[in-house]
Chains A and B, each alone.
Chain A
Amino acid sequence: MAVSESSRYLTRSLSRALVPSARPATLCWRRNASDQASSRSPSADLSELESTSISSTSTAEDVVKSYDPVSKARGRKTKLPRSRYQFRSPKYYRGPLHPHQPPPPSDPSSRLYVPGPFSLPRVEQTWQSTVASDILTLLYVHNPPGFKPPVKAPRLRDWDDTSPYHKNRNLRGPRGGDVLRLLRKPIDFNNIPHLERITIHSYVNMATENSSWLHAAGIAVQAISNVRVQTYKSKTGVPKWGIVPGRGTVACKAELHGENMLHFFGKLVDIVLPRIKDWQGIKGSSGDSSGNITFGLEPEAVALFPEIEVNYDMYPPKMIPGCHITIHTSARTDKDARLLLSALGMPFYGKIVD
């Protein structure tokens, strides 16, 4: 059911090519630019190159005789689609029962298809070649064979049935707070922390007066991140700035994944952060205790990005925004995330709080 139109035709044509047909020697004479010259029509090429070799012209004649496109087309039971046939992915998803299903996003005919990645970013290379195995070594904890970790008490506690009202109640939360924190598994070769995504968020308090502030901020964030920004309304009111919750659009955000993220991180570490004056690093207490580290950049620091610096004149200088950058890592705790970021070139300062 989920088989899309294009792949149906594809499998049909592929199976036709692969299954040995009743006709002997169905060599295809048509050569595409991507084909190896020798894979199709070997004898002709060889005979052209070296006439004295064992390859004779008899096979070529065989092939010539067997080549009959008209009868081949007539022998076909089903008609091929036109060569100009274009599969169109449906514009809207109409549910799993609809006959016209969109192809998966990895399919080139999909509307969501993004080609690439076309580059191997330095951050990824560094992580793969050095950082991953170093973190693995640093965090290795040896357990002798046969070791079994002691069983911990369940994090959600039962109620002691002292009261009849305890019946059918939800379980109690963990001791010392209501938050159920992420569990940290010991780091092994399967869960070495890596970068997952980066969020750039910029809150522009002047945007309520004049939308041009938000527009300038949005295009600056777009320029440094290569990602289309989303705009957001304020959830909380700030009377001093005249911001009412849910009224004006005051913030923009860009989410970076994959190649965009790695290039952005590389620029940040190599170009921008070293040029900020008196920058000590990320504060040691930063982080949401589940492996995501946030820090802020001043407008002067944002102006240091090469994309903004090359045409700095095109932005009104006072409208270049500051932003908060959140680095989401696959680590489950802040200390692992901090270890990863420090290995990739982010310094930390102050007291480190987990």
Chain B
Amino acid sequence: MRTTFSPILASLANVFRIPLSQTVTRPAATAALGRFNGNSNSNSTTNAAAGSSSSTRQFSTTSAMLKRHRGPTIDRRITMIRYFLHHPLTPRPLRFSRTRFLRHWTIHRAWHLYRAQQRRAHQVELERQWHAMRAACEELRTGAGDGGKLFRKSMIKTGVFRDLFPIEYARLQTEGPPAEGWNHEWRRR
């Protein structure tokens, strides 16, 4: 275990409520945050709070660092985006004791088995449909008594790739649009 944490790590732990072995006190974290935001922020109130202890002149409310004004100011949002983009905390791998691992493993295997069964059922259903379609087409070709004219017409595929599906068809399924579109009985309580 590391004995000291960098201020960024400490503040991150504070933000995500991760207890460190060595308790990070709130003032340290806020000071770190203040230092973190200090360069980017032109708002004087937070800076006054953060830098009041260290570097204020006697008759000025502007901190010395702010007065010096090096380079262009960075947008506060960009600073936060960088903060969250690069934060190093990732979930640790699952670690379980023997019995608990066994329980997880069992559930995991059962769930996979269930999914495989579902997939298999879907596959079989499609196969059944395909074979039924083939039998029907064969019947249409030989047994319809029109010399196979209907069959030949049904096999013309030119429109399929040109017209595609109509856009009305293509709607992701929901539980269904309600039969009654508007609930007139609803009142605010």
Kindly supply a per-residue 1/0 record for chain B positions 9-53, scoring 1 wherever the CB is within 8 Å of any chain A CB and 0 otherwise.
000000000000000000000000000000000000000000000
In the complex, the answer to whether A9 meets B85 with C-beta atoms within 8 Å is no
At the interface, yes or no: A128 with Cβ under 8 Å from chain B? yes
The CA of A128 and the CA of B78, in the complex, are separated in Å by 43
In the complex, the answer to whether A219 meets B84 with C-beta atoms within 8 Å is yes
Binds B, one of A70-78, A134-142, A171-179: A134-142
At the interface, yes or no: B77 with Cβ under 8 Å from chain A? yes
> For chain B, which range describes its interface: under 10, 10 to 19, 20 to 34, or 35 or more residues?
35 or more
At the interface, yes or no: A13 with Cβ under 8 Å from chain B? yes
**Smallest Cβ distance from A204 to chain B, in angstroms?**
13
At the interface, yes or no: B4 with Cβ under 8 Å from chain A? no
Kindly supply a per-residue 1/0 record for chain B positions 56-90, scoring 1 wherever the CB is within 8 Å of any chain A CB and 0 otherwise.
00000000000000000011011011101100000
The CA of A313 and the CA of B101, in the complex, are separated in Å by 44
Which of the residues A32, A108, A132, A266 comes within 8 Å of B172, measured between beta carbons?
A266
In the complex, the answer to whether B81 meets A122 with C-beta atoms within 8 Å is no
At the interface, yes or no: B1 with Cβ under 8 Å from chain A? no
At the interface, yes or no: B96 with Cβ under 8 Å from chain A? yes
Chain B CB within 10 A, most for which of A108, A219, A315, A346 = A108
In the complex, the answer to whether A129 meets B173 with C-beta atoms within 8 Å is yes
In the complex, the answer to whether B99 meets A215 with C-beta atoms within 8 Å is no
**Smallest Cβ distance from B153 to chain A, in angstroms?**
12
In the complex, the answer to whether A343 meets B101 with C-beta atoms within 8 Å is no
At the interface, yes or no: B161 with Cβ under 8 Å from chain A? yes
* Interface residue ranges, A against B (CB under 8 Å): 6, 9-10, 13, 32, 34, 80-89, 106-111, 113, 122-123, 125-126, 128-130, 132-134, 136-142, 144-145, 188-189, 192, 212, 215-216, 218-219, 222, 266, 269-270, 313-316, 319, 335, 338-339, 342-348, 352, 354
Identify 18 new A-B residue pairs, CB closer than 8 A, beyond the known A216-B78, A313-B77: A10-B102, A34-B106, A84-B97, A89-B93, A106-B108, A108-B94, A109-B96, A109-B101, A141-B155, A142-B138, A145-B138, A192-B126, A212-B78, A218-B85, A269-B172, A339-B164, A343-B164, A343-B165
* Interface residue ranges, B against A (CB under 8 Å): 74-75, 77-78, 80-82, 84-85, 93-99, 101-108, 112, 122-123, 126-127, 129-130, 133-134, 137-138, 141, 151, 155, 157, 160-162, 164-165, 167, 169-174
27 A-B residue pairings within 8 Å (CB atoms): A6-B101, A10-B105, A13-B98, A32-B99, A89-B93, A106-B112, A109-B93, A109-B94, A109-B96, A111-B93, A113-B93, A133-B129, A136-B133, A138-B157, A139-B160, A140-B133, A142-B141, A189-B129, A212-B78, A215-B78, A215-B82, A215-B85, A338-B164, A339-B164, A342-B164, A343-B165, A352-B161
